[in-house]
Every structure is written in structure tokens, then in C-alpha cells.
Amino acid sequence: MPDDPHSVSDILQRLHQRAQNRGCVTLGDLADAVGARSYGPFLIIPSLVELTPIGAIPGVPTALAAFIVVFAAQMLVGRKHLWLPTFVSRRRIGGERVTGILDRMEKPARRFDRWFHGRLTALTSAPFVRLAAAVCILLAATVPPLELIPFASSAPMLAIAAIGVAVMVRDGALMVAAVGLAGLALGFSASYLLPGGI
């Protein structure tokens, strides 16, 4: 199998094979399975968790933002593969549970691949991807103070998720839209955090 998958469906197929071959898998296994594209999913997942009711628990948005900073910083310095802290990479998930989730994602993934693929791919490689990583770090830095305002931290997290998707599928047009969304999120954050804001 090629070192680098070329679509969301390819990524799901890799994860499915890894889960089927073992009784359980670790988060480190999952990151290895998607290779250099592992940055995308690991930006998306914490962001989407923050958008669920779990994100309303005090301290959770800040913890998720800290994980995002760890991942985005590695993008910024140009690491080819994601490094995970040991306590994260050894976290085990049942193989059957993983395959069940992946099976449910298969149809949406095929639809997603038809919509987003191969546009302006140069905008999803260096130096643009490093600029996107810096934007993610900046967005994540706004989360701790915004956590004090109900639902306010969801704006930067949504923008981070969009950037993660663009990185994962290497869609430059989507990256442009995601960075635009990030600009709106930063403007929204500034309206709350700067003197004289809302």
C-alpha cells in the first residue's frame, strides 16, 4: 500500500485493515496508518469534540486546545510524521469498535471525496501548510479566555477543524475558505477579548 493515502476513503481503508488485523489498536497505530496526513485528523478530532456537549465542561476546551497546539507546532516545524505523547499514543481502542465506526463513515467519506479533492494542491504544502499551522496555534491560544464565555470557544475550534480537513484531503480551495473562516473567528475572538469589545 502506498505510504501516503490520497483520499478520506483511502485513510479509512488503512485504519480498517489495521483494526481488523489486531484485537485492539492504539492511537499511535492509527496515526502510523495514515502517515503524514495524520495531522489533519488530529486537528479535526479535538476541535469536533469541543463542539459537542463535552466541550461545555469547564477545562475541557482548554485541554483540547493544548493538544491542538502540540500537533500544530509539529506541522509548523515541518515534521513529516506526527509525534504523540506516550500516554496518548498507547491509548487502546477495541478493534471491533474501530471497525464499526469506520463502517458507518464509509458512505459519507465517499461523498466527501467527490466534493473535495485535488484543487490547488500547492496551497496544502509548505510553506502554506506551515502558515495554516501558525493560524491553528493562534486560534487555539484564544480558547482559554473564551472558555469563560458560553459557546464562544466554538468559533476558533470550528476554524481549526476546517483547516484540518483541508490538510487531510489536500484541497487548496478548501484551505483558502478555512483560512477565511479563521480570520472571521479571530475577529470574533478579538471582539470579546480586546478592551472595548462586546
User: Could you read off the pLDDT tens digit of each residue along the chain, which spans 198 residues?
Assistant: 445 556 667 777 777 777 777 667 777 776 776 665 568 888 888 888 888 787 788 888 999 999 899 989 998 988 877 777 777 777 777 767 777 777 777 787 777 777 776 677 777 777 888 999 999 999 999 999 888 887 788 899 999 988 988 888 788 888 999 999 999 998 988 887 776 555
Task: Give me the phi and psi of 127, to 5 degrees please.
Answer: -90, 0
- Cα dist from 102 to 11, 14, 62, 96, 124, whole Å: 10, 10, 28, 10, 25
22 SS3 class:
coil
Asked if the structure places residue 135 within a domain, the reply is yes
Asked if the structure places residue 94 within a domain, the reply is yes
| The pLDDT of residue 141 | 94
Asked if the structure places residue 167 within a domain, the reply is yes
| The pLDDT of residue 62 | 92
- Residue 132, domain extent: 8-193
Cell 502540540 sits on residue = 70
| The pLDDT of residue 1 | 41
Asked if the structure places residue 19 within a domain, the reply is yes
pTM for this entry: 0.77
Asked if the structure places residue 2 within a domain, the reply is no
The total number of structural domains in the chain stands at 1
Asked if the structure places residue 126 within a domain, the reply is yes
| The pLDDT of residue 5 | 57
Asked if the structure places residue 42 within a domain, the reply is yes
| The pLDDT of residue 2 | 46
Task: Give me the phi and psi of 144, to 5 degrees please.
Answer: -55, -50
Asked if the structure places residue 105 within a domain, the reply is yes
